[in-house]
Amino acid sequence: MPATDPPLPRLIAALDYAAQQHRDQRRKGIEAAPYINHPIALLRILAVEAGIDDGDVLVAAALHDVIEDCSGPAQEFIEQRRAEIGAQFGARVLELVEAVTDDKALPKAQRKLAQIEHAGQLSREARLIKFADKTANVRDIGMSPPADWEPARIAEYFDWAARVVDAMRGADATLEAVFDAALAQARRAHGG
Ligand code: ZN
């Protein structure tokens, strides 16, 4: 169902909402960049580098970490954010955000395996967001890895991201090429 609202005001409202939700967070890289840089990086990858112009995909990309990664793991806040996203941005956006949200009830190692399994079952639109997410993370970890990550952990991260992406191929050739180039560059930067 195509969105009927004009795309730009919705996108700006989504970025503003994400900025509020992520306002106390930093990226875990050594530079500790503001968290909001990450959803903005996804938008750049989707809209600028890959020419994606589906408004709901872009709005959902702006919001993609809001349910999972904001302050307060308490279920009531998660439910509140779900309700707000549905009310302000619509059911399709909420569905996309939920499709790319990890199940935080699982331990971390299991969550990483679940992402690989889950990736193959995502809709095409959800895959676009996931491709962009993995591309942005691979670039960030390539350029500014967390201070306590050993080279082996960085290499392991790149291998895992490649497996998630491999499970989703066929959704958008341009985005896949953008990911492949980002991964090759990040591996080169870390001697791989
Ligand atoms: Zn993300």
Q: Convert the pLDDT of each residue in 8-60 to its tens digit.
A: 999 999 999 999 999 999 999 998 999 999 999 999 999 999 999 999 999 99
Mean pLDDT of 100-117: 88
Which residues lie at CB < 5 A from ion ligand 1? 65, 133
pLDDT (0 to 100) of residue 5:
58
Ligand 1 geometric centre to CA of 133 (Å): 5
Asked if the model's pLDDT at residue 118 lies above 50, the reply is yes
Does 3 reside within a domain? no
Ligand 1 geometric centre to CA of 38 (Å): 7
pLDDT (0 to 100) of residue 3:
47
pLDDT tens sequence across 127-166:
999 999 999 999 999 999 999 999 999 999 999 999 999 9
Residue with tokens 């990040």: 186
Asked if the model's pLDDT at residue 174 lies above 60, the reply is yes
Mean pLDDT of 97-124: 91
Domain with residue 49: its CATH number is 1.10.3210.10
Choosing from 24, 53, 54, 68, the catalytic residue is: 68
What domain count does the chain have?
1
Does 81 reside within a domain? yes
Does 177 reside within a domain? yes
Lowest mean pLDDT among 87-91, 103-107, 185-189: 103-107
| 69 belongs to the catalytic site | yes
pLDDT (0 to 100) of residue 78:
85
Ligand 1 geometric centre to CA of 9 (Å): 22
Domain interval for residue 43: 8-189
Does 1 reside within a domain? no
pLDDT tens sequence across 67-100:
986 555 556 688 889 999 999 999 999 999 999 9
pLDDT (0 to 100) of residue 1:
46
| 76 belongs to the catalytic site | no
Does 23 reside within a domain? yes
User: What does the DSSP assignment read for the chain?
Assistant: ----S-HHHHHHHHHHHHHHHTTT-B-SSTT--BTTHHHHHHHIIIIIIS----HHHHHHHHTTTHHHHSS---HHHHHHHHHHHHHHH-HHHHHHHHHT---TTS-HHHHHHHHHHHHTTS-HHHHHHHHHHHHHHHHHHHHS--TT--HHHHHHHHHHHHHHHHTTTTS-HHHHHHHHHHHHHHHHHTT-
pLDDT (0 to 100) of residue 192:
75
Does 27 reside within a domain? yes
Ligand 1 geometric centre to CA of 14 (Å): 15
Asked if the model's pLDDT at residue 2 lies above 60, the reply is no
Ligand 1 geometric centre to CA of 4 (Å): 27
Does 2 reside within a domain? no
